[in-house]
Structure formats: structure tokens, C-alpha cells
């Protein structure tokens, strides 16, 4: 695919020249140590090619991208329980907002804001072993990426556990409203560990392939989830994957995507490609600034758009 290869090189070259790179997240002290100079991009195409540029194999903290994998795990265990707890509407609020949760009596708008993700993770954390929940999410990610070297960065998990008071506030409030069942400390610890999974763009792009192929992992041929569930997860990524910038992302990029404050974004061009991009500097809404711009250039250049796909050049 020479057009795609050239485009990926052009995007990486353009991003390397940018001086305004956004702000690295510093509310988790360990993330503040990451240089904003990084940029990585991997496109895993439906026909099995991987087109890469920049820091494609450098591992970074996936943070909220883990909410996608936690949702897949929880839906596989008990989908009705998930949808009793959380809604499917965009929040229009910051990822860690508290005010909407109280106004709506402890029911989070969707599984991708922090409150919703904590409620989903609580379903997985119900186990005697406090490490089991994050372990289950890690095992899923390893299976999807076909890579057992993927691991949790415990320094990042502890760094967030020491400072994650907003998440603790959300979790305690939901415990009071009976949205969360388990011991709050266990749910929080599981959540901080899942967010601290470290992956490269290459590993992340591989882990997203099942959403390109209607829920089927092209490497193993295994149906990870049903085609209907894959469609619905893509819909949630499109409408809720970038918090209060989800509309802007749909407008500019036009693909389902899930961001994390580590600066990664996983985007899905259904039937075409799984795309992972990483640039640690964030926008005011907490989404990768250059990552979004790179995806906009890629989606536009390839005609990859879920609303009105153009023929590939």
C-alpha cells in the first residue's frame, strides 16, 4: 500500500516539526516524567500489513484506553449488569467530572468517563484476590495483541493511587448510591492498575484489530465478541471516547476512537484498519493534541470515515 506508507511518513515528518505539542498530564506524577517530544503511529491494516512511523515500539501508559478493554471483559461476563449500572450517552463533561454524577443520582452517563469505568471495573474486581481484576484485563489485552510481554507499570499505578482523590470521591459516591458493590479500595486499586498497563503503538494497534473485523481476531480467527457488540462498542467510542471533545473528534476524524491521558489514541476504521497513535502532550480536554491531528490527516488522506467513506486513493 504505497499511498498509505507515504502518508504515514509525511504525517510523522509534519508532527516532528510541531512546536506547540500540548501539555503532558502532570496530575499523575509519574506521567509528568514523559517527554512531549515522542510521536508514534502504527496502522494495522485489514489485509495484515503494519505501517509504522516514529516511536512505534516505545511503551507508554494506556490510561483510559484500558476502559475499552475493561468494558469488553465486563460485557463478556454479564452484559445486563453493565447496562444496569451505566448509560450510553455522551457526557459533555470532563472525564473526571463529579457534578453530573450527583445530579444523576450515581448513574454514570457512559462506560468511558471515569465514573462509568469505575462502575464497570467494580464488576470485574469482585474477587477475593485484589490483583485478579486488573490481571483479567491484562490477560485479555495480551491475547488480543498476541503478546505476553505486555505488563502493568506498577510505578504509574502507585503514583495514581497516591494522588487519585477525585477517582476516590467518584467511587465512594457511587458506593453510597449502590452503583458499586465491592470494597471501594479494591475497585480503585484495580482501576489504577488497568490504567497503568504499558503498551507500544504496535501492540495497541494489534489489540484493536477485533473491532475492525466485526469482533473477530484476524490473527487467531477467534470471535472475541459478536459482530453486534463490536458495532456497539465502536458507536460508544465514537460518541463517548473523547469525553467533552467527542463531537469535535467525530467532526474532524470521523472514526471511533478512545483516548488516554498518557497521550495514546486507538482509532478504528471498520473493515480497513486499527490505528494507534501516541504523542504525550494533551489538549485542554485531556486528549492527545498531535495524536488527534495525525489521525485527522490519516483519515482524510485515506478516505477512512464512517459517515461518508471516500474511495481509497
Binding mask 260-289 for ligand GLN (x = CB under 6 A): xx------------------------x---
Q: Does 186 bind ligand GLN (CB under 6 A)?
A: no
Binding mask 20-49 for ligand GLN (x = CB under 6 A): ------------------------------
Residue with smaller CB distance to ligand GLN, 117 or 269: 117
Residue with smaller CB distance to ligand GLN, 278 or 304: 278
Q: Does 153 bind ligand GLN (CB under 6 A)?
A: no
Strand-by-strand arrangement of the 264-269 sheet:
50-54, 40-45, 273-278, 264-269, 257-259
- Nearest-angstrom CA–CA distance, 158 and 112: 22
CB of 195 vs ligand GLN, minimal distance in Å? 4
- Please indicate whether residue 175 is annotated as part of the active site: no
The CA-CA-CA angle for residues 190, 196, 199, to 5°, reads 130
CB of 161 vs ligand GLN, minimal distance in Å? 10
- Please indicate whether residue 27 is annotated as part of the active site: no
Query: Is the separation of the CB atoms in 188 and 167 below 8 Å?
Result: yes
Residue with smaller CB distance to ligand GLN, 52 or 184: 184
Pick the catalytic residue from 8, 24, 120, 261: 261
Task: Quickly list DSSP for 99-120.
Answer: HHHHHTTT--S-TTSHHHHHHH
Q: Name the residue with the smallest CB distance to ligand GLN.
A: 64
Pick the catalytic residue from 61, 120, 243, 279: 243
Pick the catalytic residue from 42, 97, 191, 253: 191
The CA-CA-CA angle for residues 10, 15, 16, to 5°, reads 100
Query: Is the separation of the CB atoms in 100 and 90 below 8 Å?
Result: no
Nearest to 164 by CA among 280, 261, 99: 261
Query: Which parts of 80-119 interact with ligand GLN (CB under 6 A)?
Result: 95-96, 114
228 CB-near residues (< 8 Å, 6+ apart): none
Q: Does 160 bind ligand GLN (CB under 6 A)?
A: yes
- For residue 92, the tally of other CB atoms under 10 A from its CB is 12
220 CB-near residues (< 8 Å, 6+ apart): 146
Pick the catalytic residue from 8, 34, 67, 246: 67
By rule CB under 6 A, what count of residues binds ligand GLN?
Answer: 11
Cell of 234: 465502536
- For residue 50, the tally of other CB atoms under 10 A from its CB is 15
CB of 262 vs ligand GLN, minimal distance in Å? 7
Query: Which parts of 233-262 interact with ligand GLN (CB under 6 A)?
Result: 260-261
- Please indicate whether residue 149 is annotated as part of the active site: no
- Please indicate whether residue 158 is annotated as part of the active site: no
Catalytic center residues = 64, 67, 191, 243, 261
Interface positions with ligand GLN (CB under 6 A) = 63-64, 95-96, 114, 160, 167, 195, 260-261, 286
Amino acid at each position: 500500500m504505497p499511498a498509505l506508507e507515504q502518508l504515514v511518513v509525511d504525517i510523522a515528518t509534519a508532527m516532528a516539526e510541531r512546536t506547540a505539542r500540548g501539555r503532558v498530564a502532570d496530575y499523575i506524577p509519574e506521567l509528568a516524567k514523559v517527554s512531549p517530544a515522542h510521536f508514534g503511529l502504527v496502522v494495522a491494516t485489514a489485509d495484515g500489513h503494519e505501517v509504522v512511523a516514529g516511536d512505534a515500539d516505545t511503551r507508554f501508559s494506556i490510561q483510559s484506553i484500558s476502559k475499552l478493554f475493561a468494558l469488553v471483559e465486563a460485557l463478556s461476563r454479564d452484559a445486563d449488569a453493565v447496562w444496569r449500572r451505566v448509560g450510553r450517552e455522551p457526557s459533555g463533561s470532563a472525564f473526571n467530572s463529579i457534578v453530573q454524577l450527583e445530579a444523576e443520582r450515581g448513574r454514570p452517563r457512559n462506560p468511558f468517563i471515569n465514573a462509568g469505568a469505575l462502575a464497570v471495573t467494580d464488576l470485574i474486581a469482585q474477587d477475593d484476590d485484589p490483583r485478579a481484576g486488573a490481571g483479567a484485563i491484562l490477560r485479555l489485552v495480551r491475547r488480543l495483541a498476541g503478546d505476553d510481554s505486555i505488563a502493568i507499570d506498577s510505578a504509574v499505578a502507585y503514583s495514581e493511587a497516591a494522588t487519585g482523590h477525585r477517582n476516590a470521591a467518584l467511587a465512594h459516591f457511587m458506593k453510597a448510591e449502590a452503583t458499586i458493590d465491592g470494597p471501594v479500595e479494591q475497585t480503585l486499586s484495580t482501576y489504577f492498575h488497568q490504567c497503568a498497563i504499558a503498551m507500544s503503538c504496535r501492540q495497541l494497534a494489534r489489540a484493536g484489530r477485533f473491532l475492525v473485523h466485526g469482533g473477530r481476531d484476524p490473527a487467531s480467527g477467534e470471535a472475541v465478541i459478536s459482530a453486534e457488540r463490536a458495532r456497539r462498542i465502536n458507536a460508544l467510542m465514537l460518541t463517548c471516547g473523547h469525553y467533552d471533545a467527542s463531537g469535535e473528534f467525530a467532526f474532524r476524524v470521523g472514526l471511533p476512537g478512545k483516548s488516554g491521558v498518557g497521550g495514546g489514541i486507538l482509532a478504528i476504521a471498520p473493515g480497513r484498519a486499527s490505528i494507534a497513535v501516541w504523542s504525550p502532550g494533551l489538549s485542554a480536554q485531556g486528549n492527545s493534541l498531535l495524536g488527534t491531528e495525525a489521525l485527522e490527516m490519516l483519515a482524510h488522506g485515506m478516505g477512512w470515515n464512517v459517515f461518508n467513506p471516500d474511495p481509497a486513493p
